[in-house]
Amino acid sequence: MSSEHQQLDKFFRKSLGLKPVIKDFLKNRLSDEVKEKINIESIEKQNTSYVSEAYRAFYSDMVYRVDTKKGAGYVYFLIEAESTAKELMPLRLLEYNTCIIRHHVEQEMKKRKKGKRKEEIKFPAVLNFVLYFGQTDYTYAGSILDAFADKKLARLMFEGNFILPLRKQSRASLLKDGQAALAEILLSSQGDLVDFIVKNPDVGKLLVDSLYGEAAIFHIISRSKYDLEESKEKLIKFVPDKKVSTMLNASLENYREEGRNEGKQEGRREGKQEGIIEGMLKVAKTMLKNGFDFKTIAKNTGLKIEQIKALT
């Protein structure tokens, strides 16, 4: 941090860091709508900076929290001082805001673990102020929303419902999703998937034209109680299409290959573990020859006393 910025940061915190000062500032700068929703007298400075270490030499920030008048909600204010116009300021603020929200949620989760909170955790709003004192006009976006190419689409990031409950969708509704329908149906299906295909031939037909048929068959087989040959026999019987049969053979081979690879990895893990145990047994034998007792040897090797006694 340069001496100039160090002095700036010190002055920024000594002035805007005083509760009466920030209260006067917010009372004047906040909209009436916001002021009606918060209890300005509850304002508290947060002892956390959200400027990353890489930028702390150049930027100053302070965070305040206030209670809302209704419910147990909070609003955070991120105040920054900036002497240079930054094109990506909205992105920086968005990143800081996310950090503030995450920190708040983590604190609320700790309360839940201690039994001090049971209700659903809600995110706090974070309102930003950048005190710009540069010599040139600030011509870049002055709000996060203004930084987006399409504001209407950007609003959907916050206003759009991102949950699609697959199990509550009708089959007809899912089928309208075209190639995605098979994946959605398989993901939302419970129980044995081979049996599911047998009972739902219309879903089996989706395999024929699917762009990811092999992956779908692999998934179906992995979610079945039948062995590979039984699964193959049932699927070919109820989905009698050559294309599906070809995909089935390829998928079965992939399934076997994955099983072989997992077996090799497990074998290497077991072999490594056996090597460690063998080495500790050698250490234990040496310690026994030097007169160490069983407990001391167990403590230093991690072996069980029964294993050590078996060496005598």
In this model, does residue 90 exceed pLDDT 50? yes
Position 74 confidence tier, pLDDT thresholds 50, 70, 90:
confident
Q: What is the pTM of this model?
A: 0.69
Return the bridge partners of 127, or none. Answer: 77
User: Tens digits of per-residue pLDDT, 237-254?
Assistant: 877 677 767 777 766 666
Looking at residue 60, what is its pLDDT? 64
User: Tens digits of per-residue pLDDT, 169-188?
Assistant: 999 999 999 999 999 999 99
Query: CA-CA distance, 160 to 143, in Å (whole number)?
Result: 20
What's the whole-number mean pLDDT along residues 108-116? 85
User: Tens digits of per-residue pLDDT, 143-161?
Assistant: 999 999 999 999 999 998 9
What's the whole-number mean pLDDT along residues 65-91? 88
Each domain of the chain, given as residue ranges in start order, spans 3-159, 182-258
Closest alpha carbon to 193 in 156, 234, 248, 153: 234
- Which of 214 and 195 is assigned the larger pLDDT? 195
Backbone angles phi, psi at 55, to 5 degrees: -110, 0
Looking at residue 290, what is its pLDDT? 64
